[in-house]
Amino acid sequence: MASVELNGAVIDSEQAFHSECRRAFGFPESYSDTMDGWVDCLSYLRDDDGMTKFKLGANEKLEIVVKDAAAMREKAPELLEEIAFCVGGINERYEDYGEKPALALVLR
């Protein structure tokens, strides 16, 4: 399983989250630093669109590991909830297209 790690200790705002995601996922310059943009980029993990540095196989998942999730939960609890909600929505989008879910969220 492919894996990407976000440093929850540095995520205290939406701006910090998007900065950390740019670094970790390799989002393109056109990334809009919004949750809509985050969802869009992670909806093409099995395509050759270059929306991330990851290219998943048909049955592969990308594990998103939030290291120091307790620190993030303390500083930005609503953001952590939104990430979990968006991961669920992205996986539903993949299933709607007849594919297996592509993301797993792990809080450490």
**What residues make up the domain containing 69?**
2-107
Q: How many domains does the chain have?
A: 1
Average pLDDT over residues 1-23: 97
Question: What is the CATH classification number for the domain harbouring 78?
Answer: 3.30.370.10
Average pLDDT over residues 64-74: 98
Q: How high is the pLDDT of residue 20? A: 98
User: For the whole model, what pTM was predicted?
Assistant: 0.95
Q: How high is the pLDDT of residue 56? A: 97
Average pLDDT of the chain, as a whole number: 97
- Residue 41 and residue 37: Cα distance in Å, rounded? 6
Share of the chain above pLDDT 90, in %: 99
Average pLDDT over residues 51-56: 97
- Residue 59 and residue 6: Cα distance in Å, rounded? 23
Q: How far apart are the first and last CA of the chain?
A: 17
Write the single-letter amino acid at 90: I
Average pLDDT over residues 47-60: 95
